[in-house]
Structure 1
Amino acid sequence: MDFSFSEKDEQFRMKVRDFFENEYPREIVEKMASGASPAKADYQTSERAMAAKGWLAVNWPKADGGTGWTANEKYIFDEELERAGALNVVPMGLLYVGPVIYTFGTDEQKKRFLPGILDSTTFWAQGYSEPGSGSDLASLQASAQRDGDDYIVNGTKIWTSLGQHADWIFCLLRTSHEEKKQEGISFLLIDMKTPGITVHPIITIDGKHALNSVVFENVRVPAENRIGEEGKGWHYANYLLGHERTSYAHVAGKRKQLADIRSVAQARALLADPAFAAKLGTLETRLDALEITVLRTLSSVAEGGAPGNESSILKIIATELAQDITELGMEAYGLYALPTFPDAVAPGWTHNTALPAGAAPSVARYLGARAQSIYGGSNEIQKNIIAKRILGL
Structure 2
Amino acid sequence: MTLPPPGTAPMRVLIVDDSAFMRASLRHIVGNTPGFVVAGEATDGLTGVDAIRSLRPDIVTLDIDMPGLDGIGVLKRVRASAAGPPVFIMVSAFTTQGASLTVTALSCGAIDFVPKASEHFKTDLAQVGELLRSKLAIAAAILTGRDRPPMRPAAQIPAAISQPAAPAQSLPPARRSSAAGAPDVVVIASSTGGPQTLPQVLGPACPFKAPIVIAQHIPPVFSRSLADSLAATLGVAVVEAEDGRELSPNTVYLLPGGRNGELVRVRAGVFALRLLDEGTAVYRPNADILFRSAALSARRPVGLILTGMGTDGTEGARALSQRGCPVLVQDPASAVIWGMPRSAIDAGLATEVLDAPGLGQRLAAMVEKSG
Alignment TM class, shorter chain as reference: under 0.3
Greater strand percent: which structure?
2
Tell me the TM-score normalised to structure 2 length. Answer: 0.26
Tell me the TM-score normalised to structure 1 length. Answer: 0.25
Greater helix percent: which structure?
1
